[in-house]
Amino acid sequence: MTPQRPKITIIYHGGVSFQPPSNHTVKVDAADSSVTLRLPDGRCGSRYNLEQREASEDEVVLHIGRKLADDSQGGYKLPPVQEVEEDLNRRWEAAGGKASELNPPWAEGERWHEHLTRMRRRIRQAERKQA
């Protein structure tokens, strides 16, 4: 039997989904009602309402809602979609892909979240081939 890969945590907010950098902290509280996102320095963080959790074959998507609190050092800044796309393009190129080949055609009625999910899936496939 093939060992299972750990699922990747994805944050979904306002129609956009992103994978926080590996050195950022994502913590769901014990009551499964809120998510805290924190920068690597441990100081800047924010707590959000957890609206939904969904799992796919290789992702756990945490749907966050309204911001509940920022810590005293400032809050966690959610990336705009342009930054998410730039990050995915960097990962794609690091996995040996050409930037012009990553962005798949939009499916009819597709939203940003679905489109970004398809991009992440292609990147993971390329990363696995490279490993």
Q: Domain for residue 76, yes or no?
A: no
Q: Domain for residue 1, yes or no?
A: no
Are 97 and 54 members of one domain?
A: no
Sheet holding 16-18, edge to edge: 16-18, 8-13, 59-70, 45-55, 34-38, 25-28
| DSSP letters for 80-115 | PHHHHHHHHHHHHHHTT--HHHHSPPPPTT--HHHH
Nearest to 28 by CA among 58, 67, 2, 64: 64
- pTM for the model: 0.88
112-130 helix and 81-94 helix, angle to the nearest 10 degrees: 20
Residues spanned by the domain of 65: 8-70
Q: Tell me the per-residue pLDDT of 57-78, one tens digit each, with 9 for 90 and over.
A: 899 999 999 999 998 778 999 9
Q: Domain for residue 58, yes or no?
A: yes
Rounded CA-CA distance 23/30 in Å is 22
Number of domains in the chain: 2
Low pLDDT (below 50) residues in the chain: none
Are 38 and 17 members of one domain?
A: yes
